[in-house]
Amino acid sequence: MGTRVRTRFAPSPTGAQHVGNARTYLANWLFARSGGGEILLRIEDIDSPRVKPGAMEQALDDLRWLGLDWDCEPVVQTARLPLYEAALDELKRRDLVYPCTCSRSDIAQAASAPHAEHEGPVYPRTCAGRTARDAPVEPFAWRFRVSDSPVFRDLVRGDVAIDLGQVGGDFVVWKNTGTPAYQLAVVVDDAAMGITHVVRGDDLLPSTPRQLLIYRELNAAAPAFAHLPLVVGEDGRRLAKRHGDTRLSALRAAGVCPESLVGLLAWSCGWIDRIEPVAARDLLPKFDWQTIPHEPFTLRREHLAAIGF
């Protein structure tokens, strides 16, 4: 008998949840519930300067509005700093990280190759000669020494190989503000919470080999991954204000029926044949990773009109 699925919602209270987030949340929930698994809730609030008041409560309201539930009290990252510090100390002890004083402009000026929209330029390893004992006086970040690029099997995309030597290079695990970076925090949290599967947008595909390296070096069991193609605007770019208001709170305020949005998202994933209202729970027998198209879903004006927005 296989391991029982345990996945998680992980909203960040740095802004409002939108239609793209809803598509990922729906797939995540259906995957867990269709197999009798668990889904936990984690609030990723370590990026404290960008956290917006009330955003966490709004995210929970959005999930409830969609008809999605979870199985625990919310786990809040800012309450878990000692866990992240212990993980960083282990990486320091083994000289797997080094202090880096380079600014973003320093890295951009040193970069010679173009880079992906969601990724910065390859780090030129300016500070890689330092060890964990060489902490400078000025503010610095901790970078992980990339030794290889693990290949992984994605539930949506199949086998994925990303060369970290060409995508970002050595990456930050602890910011110069004294807080953990996303790559370290999410590994520590998912390992501690016993997460077996991570479901997220495919803009985070390059994060997966990075996180697999950290799992390996912390001797923690890595989860399986499923990366959904993003929801994009008619210009092919990820949803943003330029595409109009696609916030779930705006849809709620306009009186959109949640089943109408769920139906649109289910149609976009190939679980139903046409756009029509459907409750999330009624999709449980229809859930299938294999029907999800590999290209982004373009959200058009007629789609929003079809759900009454």
List of residues 6+ apart from 271 with CB closer than 8 A: 283, 286, 287, 288, 291
Rounded to 10°, the helix 182-192/207-217 angle is 60
The answer to whether the beta carbons of residues 30 and 283 sit under 8 Å apart is yes
Say if residues 222 and 212 touch (Cβ distance below 8 Å): yes
Is 241 designated active site? yes
When computed from its CA atoms, the radius of gyration of the chain, rounded to whole angstroms, is 20
Phi, psi of 131 (to 5 degrees): -110, 175
- Distance, CA of 91 to chain centre: 23
d(CA 283, CA 266): 8
Of 52, 175, 241, 286, the catalytic one is 241
- What's the longest Cα–Cα distance across the chain? 61
Nearest-angstrom CA–CA distance, 42 and 198 = 12
Among all residues, which ones are annotated catalytic?
241
